[in-house]
Structure 1
Amino acid sequence: MKRVDQRHSSSLGTAHERALTGGTIRYYDTGDGPPVVFVHGFMTNANTWRDVVPNVAAAGHRCIAPDLPLGAHSIPVPEAGLTPVGVADMVSEFLDELDLTDVTLVANDSGGVVTQILLARGLARVSRVVLASVDCYEAFPPTRYRWLTAAIKIPGATRAVTSILRFRPLQRLPFTFGPATKRPIPREVMDGFLLPSRRSAEIRADLAHFVSQGVRNEFTLDAARKFPFVSTPVLIAWAREDRLVPAEYAERLANDLPNSTLAFIDDSYMLVQEDRPDALTELIIEFARQHAAPTQR
């Protein structure tokens, strides 16, 4: 099985690989203390957290950022069940394999769908959750990206879609990455998101698998039905100007999750870790401090 060479920021820490039931995933690990596990979204990878991890680690946390099989990963997982539930199973097994406890899960974009499923399960290893501008309820996929998921579902179209997205001027259009960030993502970072699916037929197959089997709002709506019974503390950290999943969805989450706190982040679109890593970092650190285990206060 061919791995795709990738360069992630050294700020994420040391790269490791872990074999799981569905396949092997690469992850990055740095710092010491109560663990914070970062869950990225569709067609991004762990490198999207490069400007958040260092300060969270400096605040006394072990930061772990896996590359999940959502289209920008480097190790194909042809045997995995690539639906949000299947990826949630992988994350749950990953926490078990690393024997992590008192975990803070931080999620963005469609990584939030995976995390909402885990939240609804009430995992004992997860003590608190940060939902940072995530797909939820009916907005999976967001309306502006329905063309993308529809195109990828066409047999043989995945390569064409990923090839088109390589052109830098197209990346800022309203129907591509334009609504995701207020400012352009650095070229080398964007290349790290897009090159795996362009270079590997196996990665493209994983991407097509996830889109065709898993990008449906039945997964988010099913998780939402369990929200009234969730006791886990949740921080809803939302981009006030989110153009993909607007602020009213954040307010809806805050109403439905009994132990939640809502905080808005200004001057950002959906990928708050790209536009406002400073603001998101401060919120994560303060939230983890407020809800720390008694022995860590």
Structure 2
Amino acid sequence: MDTRLLTLNGGDVEYVDTGGDGPAVVFLHGALMDEHLWLPVVERLAPRLRCVVPVLPMGAHRVPRPDGADLSPRALGTLVGDLVRALGLRDVTLVGNDTGGAIAQLLVADDPGVAERLVLVSCDAFGNFPPGLPGRTMALACAVPGGLRMAMASLRISALRRLPMTFGWMTKRPIPAPVFDRWLDAFAADRRVRRDVRALMKQVDRRQLVEAAHRLRAFDGDALVVWAAEDRVMPLDHARRLCGALRNARLELVEDSYTLVPLDRPERLAALIAAFVPSPSGPAADVSAPS
């Protein structure tokens, strides 16, 4: 799917937009990823829903943010809210996986009217920010001059991608090589992209999500918490606590998946989202296989 450009806060943001008249679903990815995290799900939902996937400045983006831009997690949430309004999206369902779920929480805590529905998929929550062993490894690499660049370069060796401290605990099955290589290429191509992700990581603080959790009750829309039953990075207890923090939430467990459910079980996640978002008139999406 082709990306488009939208100017927000003095800089361009890439995004995928399938268009159409259906309800809008905005998908948020995690650090060192891009829209390809969500495409296996989007391909199943696009016949019925308008799917929008912004490429957030989190290390695999191809359009750097302007010099001096605020790249805190909270500011990224604001950026998403600005995109929703700039595109004139209505009846919005906000969906976040991995650190994209953290951005979604921060956004609805600050701006509860931005979306009608919220879907949190195996994501950072409470004190797990940055999340688990992979998140702590990334934070440590960012703290050492040249550390993150060296760590990412090492992932050109495919066997290292399956280590628990890298992506081995993120997906149950290997991430397709073209997708992973795309993320590495984007990171390596522009020093400003690397600057952006370092600026983000410097401002990640577990207290941000702890505080945001206390304000999630301001969001009065329906919420769906989807969690990988075998997740090794995002504690299952956090899924239950998120359901308690939100007013109208229910929990669905996904078997045979680790954190990145959109890659491990796209058909199951697409079916859950399709059932959660009210159906417009017209044919239902075929979520069993990509179109």
TM-score by length of 1: 0.90
Matches within 5 A, 1:114-263: 114-145=103-134, 146-213=136-203, 215-263=204-252
Distance apart, 1:44 and its partner CA: 0.6
Q: Percent same amino acid among aligned pairs?
A: 39
Matches within 5 A, 1:10-159: 10=1, 14-32=2-20, 33-58=22-47, 60-77=48-65, 78-145=67-134, 146-159=136-149
Higher relative contact order (CA 8 A, sep 6+): 2
Provide the secondary structure at the position in 2 that maps to 1:219. Answer: helix
Distance apart, 1:125 and its partner CA: 3.5
In structure 2, runs of 5+ residues without a counterpart are 281-291
Query: What one-letter code is carried by the residue in structure 1 that aligns with 2:110?
Result: R
Match for residue 259 of structure 2 among 267, 270, 278: 270
Q: How many residues align?
A: 278
- Give the match for residue 285 of structure 2: none
Deviations along 1:33-88, whole A, 9 cap, x unmatched? Answer: 11111111111111111110022112x21111111001100001133211111101
Query: What one-letter code is carried by the residue in structure 2 that aligns with 1:41?
Result: G
Distance apart, 1:212 and its partner CA: 1.1
Structure 1 residue runs of 4 or more that deviate by more than 4 Å after TM superposition: none
Distance apart, 1:192 and its partner CA: 1.3
In structure 1, runs of 5+ residues without a counterpart are 1-9, 293-297
Distance apart, 1:165 and its partner CA: 2.1
Query: What one-letter code is carried by the residue in structure 2 that aligns with 1:194?
Result: L
> Could you tell me how far apart the structure 1 residues matched to 2:221 and 2:72 are?
24
Deviations along 1:153-184, whole A, 9 cap, x unmatched? Answer: 22332321221222211000111100000000
> Could you tell me how far apart the structure 2 residues matched to 1:122 and 1:97 are?
15
TM-score by length of 2: 0.91
> Could you tell me how far apart the structure 2 residues matched to 1:29 and 1:228 are?
30
Deviations along 1:242-289, whole A, 9 cap, x unmatched? Answer: 100121110111122121011000000000000000000000010102
> Could you tell me how far apart the structure 1 residues matched to 2:118 and 2:19 are?
19
